[in-house]
Amino acid sequence: MESISRISSMLETARELTIEAAQSASSSRGAFKSNSPYRHISFSQIKKLLDSRSDRDILDGLRKVIALMYRGEPCLPFFSSVVKNVANPNIEVKKLVYIYLLHHAESEPDLALLSINAIQKSLTDQNPQVRAMALRTMSGIRVPVINQIVSLAIKRGCGDMSPHVRKAAALAIPKCYRLDPSTLPQLLEYLSTLLGDSQYFVVGPAVSSFLEVCPDRIDLIHKHYRSLVRKLVDMDEWGQLATLRLMTVYARKCFPRRTERIRVSNPKGFYGDEDEGNAEPEEFGKEIQVVDPDLDLLLKACKPLLQSRNSAVIVSVVRLFLYVGTPTYLNTAVGPLIALLRGPQDTQHVALYNIICIALVDPKPFLKYASHFLIRSSDVPHIWRLKLEILTLLFPHCGLHLKGIIVSELEHFSHGSQPDLVRESVRAIGRCAQSDATTSARCLRVLLGQISSADDNLVSEALTVIRHLIQQDPASHKNTVVMLAKHLDTTTSPDARASIIWLVGEFAGIDVGNNIAPDVLRILAKGFADESEASKQQIVLLGAKVYLHHLLNIAETAKNTADDNNDVNHGYDHDGPSHPPFQEGQKEEDPMVVLWQYILLLARYDTSYDLRDRARLYKSLLAVPSSTQLASLLLLAPKPVPFTPSPSETRKGLLLGTSTLVIGPDAGIHGLRGYEPLPDWVEAGKEPDPKLRDDSASSRAGFVEKVNLTAGERLDHALREHDVDTGRVRQNGTAMGNGKKTLDDWLAEEESEESEEDEEDEEGSTEYESEESEESEEESEEESQKGEDELGDEYEEDDEHTGSDDEKAALPPRKQSNILFRRIHEDTKNFELGGVAQTMMQCHMTKEEKTWAAI
């Protein structure tokens, strides 16, 4: 019969599996054909499944409802049918019901309240997973009426034996606070309890809840600081992120930044007397940062997190080292941060922004990793842009060899086929030349070699960068301007030609004897009609500058001539004028005047409104040759030296590892929602008392000591305490009533208990047995009245009976036990610390004796 029942059960199981496989196959075919696996199932069929008594049908119906819910179809009509299954003991049914309830509780708050009692019953379930789910669901039902119930459930969850339930309680605290902020005092008590939990599994969510509910209550962290630091390594990634964020703020508010000046002696030469007169001071001060011991504990605990598999944890550790650590700790974190560049593109993107943020402050730690920032052919635009920026930030601090490699790489990519990459490479060369004067000549040669390129984009960007470099030191770039002017015959790019013309006009008055500006203007005037609008504007500006320099030279020459005549004719009277009268014909015959009039005439009839307006402006400024002060102020004013900052200069000062840092200026003035800048260092003398951080450690100091001891050391410690207590008892003569009991006290109590048990067991026995019990009772009463000394004498008498095994067996049981305890008592006194195992071997104890010794 058993075999038949087994076969029938196997057939039933196979039938169920076949039905489920057929249903899944049909649903997949329906999804493939109509892209809707549950379209053929009607409302009544789903409701029938939900109302079924079979857990399999209920599960099937719930799965269909959840699928419809996540597809955006209305599932509210199933609310009553779903919620009534909340008391189902099947855990899979509970999961799906809780999911549905959390999604629709706000739409039907009255019906959702009907399920609260069943959820409350689940809080006392034997399965911790069910209790955790119930607490999570109850806190997720956003109905204000049940807020006090949720608070009580959190209180119960904080004291639960399972860490999973306590974790659910920690995660429920922010939900309860958002539901009713008036419960904050109660929630703070729960948070304080959970922050001191012994399980790292619970502490991480508790810290996350703390940051969300009361991030400013740093006073709650003092007594848990060291335990949080020790549990940091064991937490999950999310708990580590929250704890690192909390500890960064805590360190700024509780540990003042102290520096110490140390003396460093300069090494002297081999001969101590050489250059004594011109020797520098032997000692000078150097400031180093003094790290608080508790802060150093945090920094050391964060080092293992640099090996984390989560990139966000690594960035958080780097942020901690940057803002509260020392340069030594920051140098150890640079390598793991660079290793993130081997990850996916999104990870590289975020890592590069954080690297730039650090390099803007201190680029030296990244010098030995400069080769990691060279562009690869597989890099996407937003990756190679950031790499180019990092190379330009590291360039001034690199060695000559590395500088040559960077310039060669930039020159190579400036000849590429991607216009954006070409433009950014040329701009990077310009930033390198501006940041390092020793290599600016080489960078300028590279840029000048690109002017003859057929790529108009490259030529335009190169001339813009060259113009910025020339403006930094105009006097040393005269030949460069001449070289650029020669390229006007071959350059066709409108922007490039405009840049060259502007440079010629800007430096036209530096060297009057070797001025090429009039000749360049004369050549350009011939093809004025064929130039672009930008070039025409620069030609008109060049003509105005050349004509202004001509007027200034005439005025200076006339002034010098007048001064010379006054010196020669000093003291003599003249009847006539000292100089010939001004003749109008001489002014018109001057070539510069004629050229200026010609330029104005060309601009007057041009089709550009802007060009005609500019020509009228310049004509009005230079209409009176003797009044050129205003024209000189407008046209010949010194220009500020242009400086091209790093593209991420606007992100300087943003907090490392935040989304605001990645988004940049688009995040707004105050950053994204939730962004908070790092607080300033607390002033010395205003920091909290360091003793506040000792409370949590002192409460369990003894426990930690005992946990750290080995089993043998703990046994030796117990034996040592036993010997001390025994010695005290013997000195006082009597046992202490409230102190620890000695072995003799235990023996006396054991004998009295045995005598009482014998009395009760032998009341209804025969007369022979009653006589023996009376004798044993009298003996036990006499022995109990004697005390410690009589018990010792009895032990001595018992020792006389020691002999062979047969003689011991003939003794009464009480005598045998007394002999046994006497041996154990004497052997225990001979125990040596650290040699318990050896002493037990020397005693040759039997198994029964070892058992009594353990008791």
Q: What is the pLDDT of residues 407-429, one digit of tens each?
A: 999 999 988 888 899 999 999 99
> Tokens at residue 357, please?
């943020």
Helix (H) or strand (E) holding 288: strand 283-290
CA gap 423, 417 in Å, rounded: 11
| Angle of CA points 533, 535, 539, to nearest 5° | 115
303 near 325, Cβ under 8 Å? no
Q: Which residues pair with 262 in a beta bridge?
A: 286
**Residue 666, CB-side half-sphere exposure with 13 Å CA sphere:** 3
Q: Which CATH class is domain 33-252?
A: mainly alpha
- Amino acid at site 85: N
What proportion of the chain, given as a percentage, has pLDDT over 70?
A: 70
> Tokens at residue 292, please?
């608080």
Helix (H) or strand (E) holding 264: strand 258-265
Higher pLDDT pick, 833 / 87? 87
Q: Where are the alpha helices (DSSP H) in 369-439?
A: 381-394, 400-414, 419-435
648 near 360, Cβ under 8 Å? yes
Q: How high is the pLDDT of residue 749? A: 63
Q: Which residues pair with 261 in a beta bridge?
A: 287
Q: How many helices (H) and strands (E) does the chain have?
A: 42, 2
CA gap 194, 412 in Å, rounded: 59
Cα dihedral 189, 191, 193, 194, rounded to 10, equals 160
> Of 208, 190, 294, 194, which Cα lies nearest the Cα of 244?
208
Q: Where are the domains of the chain?
A: 1-32, 33-252, 709-854
423 near 457, Cβ under 8 Å? yes
> Tokens at residue 30, please?
């329906």
SS3 (DSSP) at 750: helix
CA gap 796, 791 in Å, rounded: 9
CA gap 523, 538 in Å, rounded: 14
SS3 (DSSP) at 639: coil
Q: Where are the alpha helices (DSSP H) in 180-236?
A: 184-195, 200-213, 225-231
Stretch among 495-504, 576-585, 606-615 having the lowest mean pLDDT: 576-585
Q: Burial letters for 312-348: b for 16+ Cβ neighbours within 10 Å, e otherwise?
A: bbbbbbbbbbbbbbeeebbebbbebbbbbbeeeeeeb
Q: How high is the pLDDT of residue 6? A: 63
Stretch 471-495: mean pLDDT: 83
Distances (CA, A) of 658 to 234, 250, 333, 711: 24, 18, 18, 49
Stretch 299-303: mean pLDDT: 95
- When the pLDDT of each residue in the chain is averaged and rounded to a whole number, the result is 78
Task: Report whether pLDDT(531) > 70.
Answer: yes
Q: How high is the pLDDT of residue 592? A: 86
CA gap 41, 62 in Å, rounded: 13
Local structure of residue 571 (DSSP, 8 states): T
Q: How high is the pLDDT of residue 4? A: 64
Model confidence over 744-781: pLDDT tens digits? 565 566 566 555 555 555 444 444 444 444 444 445 45
Distance of CA 783 to the CA centre of its chain: 75
Q: How high is the pLDDT of residue 627? A: 82
Contacts of 482 (CB under 8 A, 6+ apart): 516
656 near 320, Cβ under 8 Å? no
pLDDT band at 664 (very low <50, low <70, confident <90, very high): confident
Q: How high is the pLDDT of residue 639? A: 80
Stretch 278-285: mean pLDDT: 50
Distances (CA, A) of 704 to 203, 381, 707, 834: 19, 55, 5, 21
Stretch among 62-76, 126-140, 315-329, 553-567 having the lowest mean pLDDT: 553-567
pLDDT band at 165 (very low <50, low <70, confident <90, very high): very high
Task: Report whether pLDDT(696) > 50.
Answer: no
With tokens 């001969």, the residue in question is: 271
Q: How high is the pLDDT of residue 759? A: 53
Q: Which residues pair with 289 in a beta bridge?
A: 259
Q: How high is the pLDDT of residue 417? A: 84
CA gap 47, 58 in Å, rounded: 9
CA gap 23, 808 in Å, rounded: 79
Q: How high is the pLDDT of residue 747? A: 59
Stretch 183-212: mean pLDDT: 94
With tokens 């803002």, the residue in question is: 323
Local structure of residue 368 (DSSP, 8 states): G
With tokens 């209550």, the residue in question is: 217
